[in-house]
Amino acid sequence: MSIDELVQGVLNQKRRYLARLISLIEDEDIQAMEALSQLYKHTGKGHIIGVTGPPGSGKSSLVTKLTAEFRKRSKTIGIICVDPSSPFTGGALLGDRIRMQEHSLDDEVYVRSMGTRGHLGGLARATSDAVRAVDAFGKDIIFVETVGTGQSEVEVVDVAHTVIVTDVPGSGDDIQAIKAGIMEIADIFVVNKSDLAGADKKVTEINAMLDIDPKEQAWRPPVLLTNARTGEGIPELVDNILAHLEHLKGSGLLQKKGLQRSRDELQELMKYKLTKELSQKLQGKPEYEKAIKMIAKRKQDPYTVAEQLIAEFLFSETR
């Protein structure tokens, strides 16, 4: 399949081409970037919604129900589910699709599962490229589900316009976790499993925490109750998601965020390209191996060697 075919296939909404493109992205294949660079001008239309929270808090179930609600409102949907790969074997069991069976034959819903792998470009890079591919494909709403535990997973939701942080009733301890990392990124809090005891209490706790947060007040994250099994609270959640998008547009934040994202992305890409190029060039070079040994023996220092190697391998040859 040529790059042109791939690009045309995606633009003509052929699922197989989208699937193929995402595979190339995951494999960090050079063709992926070429295709994405052609597709870039067709992106930026989808509403990207990040869903993050502890494992088992009902993210996949929630995305399924949100999908149903958005479908009722005639939106087309893309879903990217990210699950951790084993750091030892690199393998992964990707089970989010189990929850999404009710949409499995809907032509307007595309679901893709991704393992975190050990991406050279970082998880965020692969995921945001995958989201971009779905965006170019033309889906109106794109969900990105990640487990909200580690830093890299949190970064993933940076690509999102609207970030939903999920939690469940029960143990007050994890509120600390929310405070620690995920708090800042939430545009909407969802306390899922509203059928379990302590749901209201959890809502109160989160609200209390938001009250003492000195952050900008233009958008105060709503705290919503849902039952992702029965669908209770889902229409309200969708209304809030749409209201958040309106807020972004109305306040000029959408543009501002867009600029910031472009700046971040450009920087990151350059960093990534440089790192990749450098490591390819250094790979197996005797000078490189030798220098490492010298540094270890304290015969040379890493500060000087880094300067030298960069000057020698990156700049001398490319010029």
Partner 1 sequence: MGDNKTLPAAVKRWDENTVAKTIGKFPEREETFLTISGVPVNRLYTPLDSKDLDYEKDLGFPGEYPFTRGIQPTGYRGRLWTMRQYSGFATAKESNERFHFLLDQGQTGLSVAFDLPTQIGYDSDHPLALGEVGKVGVAIDSLADMEILFDNIPLDKVSTSMTINADAVVLLAMYIAVAEKQGVSMDKLRGTIQGDILKEYVARGTYIFPLSPSMRLITDTFKFCSEKMPLWNTISISGYHIREAGSTATQEVAFTLANGIAYVQAAIDVGLDVDAFASRLSFFFGSHSDFLEEICKFRAARRLWARIMRERFKAKKDSSCRMRFHTQTAGCTLTAQQPDNNIVRVTLQALQAVLGGTQSLHTNSRDEALSLPTEESVQIALRTQQIIGHESGVGDTVDPLAGSYYIESLTNEIENKAMEYIQKIDGMGGAPAAIENGYIQREIHEAAYSFQKSVDSNERVVVGVNKFQVDEEQKFDYLRVNPESELEQIEQLNNLRKSRDDDKVQTALHDLRLGAEGETNLVPLIIEAVKVYATLGEICGVLRDVFGEYKATDL
Partner 2 sequence: MSSSKKIRVLVAKPGLDGHDRGVKIVARALRDAGMEVIYTGLRQTPEMVVRAALDEGVHCIGLSILSGAHNALFPKIMELLKAEGVSDILVVGGGIIPEDDIPDLKKAGISEIFGPGTPLDVIVEYIKTNVKL
Ligand X SMILES: Nc1nc2c(ncn2[C@@H]2O[C@H](COP(=O)(O)OP(=O)(O)O)[C@@H](O)[C@H]2O)c(=O)[nH]1
List residues near partner 2 by CB under 8 A: 15-16, 19-20, 22-23, 26-29, 85-86, 89-95, 97-98, 101, 104-105, 110-113, 115, 117-120
Considering the rule CB under 8 A, would residue 230 count as an interface residue with partner 1? Answer: yes
Question: Choosing among ligand X, partner 1, partner 2, none, which partner's interface includes residue 59 (Cβ < 5 to 8 Å by kind)?
Answer: ligand X
Place of tokens 């229409």: 235
CB 254 within 8 A of CB 219: no
Min dist CB 93 to partner 1, Å, is: 5
Cα 109 to Cα 235, 255, 309, 311: the distances in Å are 19, 28, 49, 49
Q: Pick between residue 60 and residue 162 the one whose CB is nearest to partner 1.
A: 60
- Compute the distance between CA of residue 220 and CA of residue 210 in angstroms, rounded to an integer: 8
Query: CB-based burial of residue 135 (10 Å sphere; 0-12 exposed, 13-18 middle, 19+ buried)?
Result: buried
Q: Any residues with CB less than 8 A from the CB of 79 and at least 6 apart, and which?
A: 63, 67, 100, 109, 110, 111, 112, 142, 143, 145
- Burial annotation 175-201 (CB, 10 A radius, 16+ → b, else e): beebeebbbebbbbbbbbbbeeeebee
Min dist CB 199 to ligand X, Å, is: 9
Q: Pick between residue 61 and residue 128 the one whose CB is nearest to partner 1.
A: 61
Q: Which two tokens stand for residue 123?
A: 């998880």
DSSP SS3 for 181: helix
Question: Choosing among ligand X, partner 1, Mg ion, none, which partner's interface includes residue 228 (Cβ < 5 to 8 Å by kind)?
Answer: ligand X
Considering the rule CB under 5 A, would residue 192 count as an interface residue with Mg ion? Answer: no
Question: Choosing among ligand X, partner 1, partner 2, none, which partner's interface includes residue 20 (Cβ < 5 to 8 Å by kind)?
Answer: partner 2
Q: Pick between residue 7 and residue 109 the one whose CB is nearest to Mg ion.
A: 109
- Compute the distance between CA of residue 146 and CA of residue 52 in angstroms, rounded to an integer: 5
- 155 C-beta neighbours (distance < 10 Å), count: 17
Q: Report the residue from 186, 192, 206, 222 that binds ligand X according to the rule CB under 6 A.
A: 192
Considering the rule CB under 6 A, would residue 227 count as an interface residue with ligand X? Answer: yes
**Binding to ligand X in span 101-160, by CB under 6 A:** none
The count of C-alpha atoms lying within 13 angstroms of the C-alpha of 85, restricted to the half-sphere facing its C-beta, is 15
Considering the rule CB under 8 A, would residue 204 count as an interface residue with partner 1? Answer: no
Q: Report the residue from 99, 125, 132, 202 that binds partner 1 according to the rule CB under 8 A.
A: 99
Give the per-residue contact string, 41-80, with partner 1 (x = CB under 8 A; - = no).
Answer: ---------------x----x-------------------
Considering the rule CB under 5 A, would residue 153 count as an interface residue with Mg ion? Answer: no
Considering the rule CB under 6 A, would residue 190 count as an interface residue with ligand X? Answer: no
